[in-house]
Chains A and B, each alone.
Chain A
Amino acid sequence: MCKAIVYVTLREGVLDPQGQAVQGALHSLGFREVTGVRVGKYLEVNLGTADKAEAESRVRDMCEKLLANPVIEDYRFEIVEG
């Protein structure tokens, strides 16, 4: 069976207050080399199919409809053996 690993990230240029907070915390811990942090979402979606091509088209649809908001977010995913 297939499993989709989906990454949802804020689009470039969209303010990421969470990322900024994490960057600030890393700086205060002494990790001065950190020049930027972006926080995103990681989802594992188990699919009841073994057909990789079908899985891919279904997951793309899921991303477009629900998992990502195209106004502020980008997505990418990979299909793996679940």
Chain B
Amino acid sequence: MRAAVIVFPGSNADVDMYQAVEDVMQVPVDYVWHSETDLSAYELILLPGGFSYGDYLRSGAVARFSPVMEAVVREAAAGKLVLGVCNGFQILLEAGLLPGAMLRNRSLKFRCTMSRLRVVNAQTPFTREYRDQEVIEIPIAHGEGNYFCDAATLARLRANQQIVFRYEGENPNGSLDDIAGICNERGNVLGMMPHPERAVHDWMGSADGQRIFRSILTTWRERHRAATHA
């Protein structure tokens, strides 16, 4: 398996993401500049946090038109795993790979703290190493993580089990239905505001993010085995 960490002008969690993949998954990983147009060599695509294009206009709005995003859309449609964290989540929303939009935090404060999350869906390719309804700790760092969508979309997200993480206890940004992370209907695209790549060793304050990366690896191994035995 080969992983791509997409780097936009303004990405700042790209190094954390790269190192988390190296440390936990121990698979080859490349930084891929946003002007690239071919991602066919990668089985896993990671959109890191940061402030792509300075978050001008709206967070993620400009990055969504980077050349690489056409390739991301293509690979997502082919079933490859795509994980967007923080600004990466915002870009996935702007690109229409996930439904909804981000508003400023209700408190208007930039929140940088450890957050408690409930794993609402432990059946996705990204969360299968967690227990259903388990509460985990993963840090957040954002000013615009107040997830919003219309009532019909929320009903659809609930009905299809697309809500993957909810904030447990305090909701740090005021998001609708305490949403911290959602996936697409097919389950191969996940967007989340908390930073699992910043919680992969105990010395970081929590190692709870590790299991996202281990889940991805388990999923890939299973698919790979199925493919080679077919």
User: Would you call A17 and B57 a contact (CB within 8 A)?
Assistant: no
Contact partner of A17 (CB less than 8 A), chosen from B58, B100, B105, is B105
User: Would you call A14 and B106 a contact (CB within 8 A)?
Assistant: no
Contact partner of B103 (CB less than 8 A), chosen from A15, A41, A66, is A15
User: Would you call A69 and B104 a contact (CB within 8 A)?
Assistant: no
Residues of A within 8 A of B146 (CB): 15, 17
In the complex, how many residue pairs between chain A and chain B have their CB atoms under 8 Å apart? 39
Residues of B within 8 A of A21 (CB): 108
User: Would you call B107 and A72 a contact (CB within 8 A)?
Assistant: no
User: Would you call A71 and B100 a contact (CB within 8 A)?
Assistant: yes
User: Would you call A66 and B108 a contact (CB within 8 A)?
Assistant: no
Among A10, A41, A72, the one with the most B-chain Cβ atoms within 10 Å of its Cβ is: A72
User: Would you call B107 and A66 a contact (CB within 8 A)?
Assistant: no
Q: Is B178 an interface residue (CB 8 A)?
A: no
User: Would you call A71 and B107 a contact (CB within 8 A)?
Assistant: no
The SS class assigned to the B binding surface is loop
Q: Is A5 an interface residue (CB 8 A)?
A: no
Residues of A within 8 A of B57 (CB): 41, 66-67
Q: Is A49 an interface residue (CB 8 A)?
A: no
Residues of B within 8 A of A14 (CB): 103, 148
Question: In the complex, which residue of chain B has the Cβ closest to the Cβ of A41?
Answer: B57
User: Would you call B61 and A18 a contact (CB within 8 A)?
Assistant: no
Within 8 A of B (CB), among A18-65: 18, 21, 41
Residues of B in contact with A, size category: 20 to 34
Residues of A within 8 A of B104 (CB): 17-18
Question: In the complex, which residue of chain B has the Cβ closest to the Cβ of A21?
Answer: B108
Contact with A along B49-82 (1 / 0, CB 8 A): 0000000011001100100000000000000000
Residues of A within 8 A of B85 (CB): none
- Docked CA distance A80–B58 (Å): 25
Q: Is B150 an interface residue (CB 8 A)?
A: yes
User: Would you call B108 and A15 a contact (CB within 8 A)?
Assistant: no
Q: Is B3 an interface residue (CB 8 A)?
A: no
- Docked CA distance A15–B58 (Å): 16
- Docked CA distance A76–B193 (Å): 31
Residues of B within 8 A of A18 (CB): 104, 108
User: Would you call A69 and B58 a contact (CB within 8 A)?
Assistant: yes
User: Would you call B94 and A69 a contact (CB within 8 A)?
Assistant: yes
- Docked CA distance A66–B107 (Å): 27
- Docked CA distance A11–B127 (Å): 34
Q: Is B174 an interface residue (CB 8 A)?
A: yes
Among B58, B65, B93, B94, the one with the most A-chain Cβ atoms within 10 Å of its Cβ is: B58
Residues of B within 8 A of A (CB): 57-58, 61-62, 65, 93-94, 99-101, 103-108, 146, 148-150, 174
Query: Which 8 pairs between the two chains have the least Cβ-Cβ distance?
Result: A71-B101, A72-B101, A17-B104, A17-B108, A69-B101, A17-B106, A21-B108, A69-B58
